[in-house]
Amino acid sequence: MLRMSAPVGAGAVQAASSCRADGFARKGVLFALIFTLLAALMVAGCSRGKKSSSQTLSKRVVALGQPVPKGGGHYKVGNPYKIGGRWYRPKEQPNYNRIGVASWYGELFHGRYTANGEIYDMNALTAAHPTLPMPSYVHVTNLRNGRALVLRVNDRGPYAHDRIIDLSRRSARALGFERDGTVKVRVRYLGPAPLNGDDSYERQIYASQSWARVASGTGARKTPAKRTEFASATREAIQADPIVVGSIPDKPQSGSANRSTAVAGNVQRSPRGAHRMYFVQASSFASRSAADDLNRRLSEIGPSRVMQVGEGRDARFRVRLGPYAWRHDADQTLREVVSIGLRDAYMVTQ
């Protein structure tokens, strides 16, 4: 605005008004230019941000809808790293047992390389963890509904302050929190997973859960004829090798010849009040081949594993079924195992 120190005539007023109008016009043009420049800078900044965000993702090597190959990665613990101002220190954590929030990730990462060189499959029973070794098995329990799964950790993440694990979409769906996005869970480390990507163990665990059988309609009982044949063959296997019955140690023996077969025994006992897992100890053999033979037969009943205890001549090979999240499922399995002739079988709670 023009400031006047003395009265002026009409012509002077008109000239002043014209000058004000020209000044406002010039200012308007200037403001328009500044606004346009700022808008252009913002768009450019957004574009760069989107580009750099996409560059943080590995290249998609398997298209959506195409089968994803299993395995192909390597065993990895990794060095300490920093994300979002926070340090993460990967390490072996045999006693890992924590409660926190789980989230899940899906299509955006599907078909891309994971942190240990595998390819992420949102339809597999896998998970990402910020510090546990890869690949490894974890037992994840949804504390809201009690559902539990064994998952393969083959990726890094998540990095939100309140989250401890990131599940694949299928895992989140199976545990019942896909729609909610997050849920409170307990995560327990079980042991190393096979490098070849064999996912039969985690799929067997899933199929053995009572809630999974009801949902899929696969809870039909085996035919008597097949059960009789199975029981007969099992008795023959027992007679071919002596059974050694003994207590289960709280901690697995060190120096196992095959780490991947000792997964079931590599679980520490839960503290009081923690969610328990149940196993069925079927039998123990002095011969690995006899244990493997029984293990194959027991796989018709549920998920089973061979666990080596001791070395050399003192080595024993224990055959276990489980883990089960519910005692009812373990009880049912124990009854089935006893009914086929393994009368020394018993339940183990951890």
- What span, in angstroms and rounded, lies between the C-alpha atoms of 242 and 248? 18
> What is d(CA 170, CA 217) in angstroms, rounded to the nearest whole number?
18
Lowest-confidence region among 15-19, 260-264, 271-275: 260-264
Closest CA to 222 of 298, 306, 304, 293: 298
Evaluate if residue 234 carries a pLDDT over 60. no
pLDDT digits (tens, 9 = 90+) for 290-338: 999 998 888 878 788 898 888 888 899 999 988 877 777 788 788 888 8
Closest C-alpha among 291, 343, 346 to residue 322 = 346
pLDDT reported for residue 213: 57
Q: How far apart are CA 88 and CA 99, in angstroms?
A: 18
**Residue 271: in which H helix or E strand, if any?**
none
What single DSSP character describes residue 70?
P
What is the C-alpha to C-alpha distance for residues 183 and 203, in angstroms, rounded to an integer?
22
Distance, CA of 321 to CA of 264 (rounded, Å): 8
Mean of pLDDT over the chain: 74
Query: Using omega within 30 degrees of 0 as the cis cutoff, is the peptide bond preceding 158 cis?
Result: yes
99, 101, 107, 113: CA torsion to nearest 10: -50
Q: Using one digit for the tens of pLDDT, what is the confidence trace for 242-265? A: 433 333 233 333 332 232 323 333
| pLDDT at residue 164 in the model | 96
CATH superfamily entry for domain 221-349: Sporulation related repeat (3.30.70.1070)
Confidence (pLDDT) at 178: 92
pLDDT tens for 116-150 read 999 999 999 999 999 999 999 999 999 999 999 99
Over residues 155-172, mean pLDDT: 93
Show the tokens assigned to 125: 């029973």
- In this predicted structure, the answer to whether residue 57 has a pLDDT above a threshold of 70 is yes
126-128 vs 183-192, strand pairing mode: unpaired
Closest CA to 286 of 322, 248, 323, 246: 246
Comparing 214 with 266, the larger pLDDT belongs to: 214
Instruction: Give the domain ranges of the chain.
Output: 81-211, 221-349
Range from 1-5, 204-208, 254-258 carrying the lowest mean pLDDT: 254-258
Report CA-CA distances (Å) from 206 to 20, 40, 165: 79, 53, 19
Q: Which residue has the higher pLDDT, 88 or 228?
A: 88
At 28, the pLDDT band (50, 70, 90 cuts) reads low
DSSP-derived letter for residue 202 is H
What is the rounded distance in angstroms from the CA atom of residue 36 to the CA atom of residue 21?
22
Domain 81-211 bears CATH identifier 2.40.40.10:
yes
Which residues are CB-neighbours of 285 under 8 A, at least 6 positions away? 241, 242, 243, 244, 291, 294, 316, 317, 318, 319
98 versus 255: which is more confidently predicted? 98
- Residue that the structure tokens 């599940």 belong to: 167
Say what the pLDDT of residue 147 is: 92
Helix (H, G, I), strand (E, B) or coil at 150: strand
Q: Which of 338, 337, 257 is nearest to 304 (CA)?
A: 337
Query: Distance between CA atoms of 267 and 88, rounded to whole angstroms?
Result: 24
Q: Is the pTM higher than 0.85?
A: no
What is the mean predicted confidence (pLDDT) over 62-69? Answer: 94
pLDDT at 275 over 60: no
Q: pLDDT grade, residue 30 (50/70/90)?
A: low
- Block residue for tokens 């339809």: 123
Residue 179 has pLDDT above 50, yes or no: yes
pLDDT of 12 strictly over 90: no
Q: Judge whether residue 7 has pLDDT over 80.
A: no
